[in-house]
Amino acid sequence: MFILSEGLSHYDGLPEERAFLQKCLTLLQHPQAFERTHLPGHFTGSAWIANPDRSKVLLVHHAKLNQWMQPGGHADGEADLYQVALREALEETGATPLVSEPVIFDLDIHTIPARKDFPQHEHYDVRFLLIADDQVPVRVSHESHDVRWVSLAELETYTQSRSVVRMKEKLLRAN
């Protein structure tokens, strides 16, 4: 079982993530931090899915946010965010990631716009690197407009979000 407090205590991300780390540690003190109703923000888990040679990543075109990003979602009470990331990867893409080490790959805090039924809030997103075979078919869930393997060389034609580009940079450094 992945224990977030331990994962955060060992996490040594990029300098731009240090503020995220401190905010995550603070949020972790709230008993409802893993519930989507916890405002002004709550934990989410995401999967940065790469193919075996790490030349491509699997992105979803999120229906509500209308942007390309990694699969991920709400913890809904589950404190094991690694399991949340695995669940969301499977639900949103149908990909069968090879289980990797449950080690935090990236941290991000981003604002989710208000909807008619829910106010603007923040996602404290804990991300894990997973590896999946890019030759196995993927599927589009009801949460997305599309799911696609994207070469790292073409990533910025899909998104220029610093949050996503940062993960690309980390993946390239790890190769």
Instruction: Give the other-Cβ count within 10 Å of 18's Cβ.
Output: 13
Give per-residue pLDDT as tens, 1-43. 899 999 999 998 999 999 999 999 999 999 999 999 999 999 9
Considering only CA atoms, give the Rg of the chain: 15
> Per-residue pLDDT for 98 more than 80?
no
> Per-residue pLDDT for 97 more than 80?
no
What residue type is 132 in one-letter code?
A
Chain position carrying tokens 């949460």: 143
Q: What class has domain 4-113+122-174?
A: alpha beta
| H or E stretch at 163 | helix 162-174
Give per-residue pLDDT as tens, 129-147. 999 999 988 999 888 899 9
Q: Model-level pTM?
A: 0.95
> Per-residue pLDDT for 70 more than 90?
yes
CA-closest candidate to residue 46, choices 84, 17, 102: 84
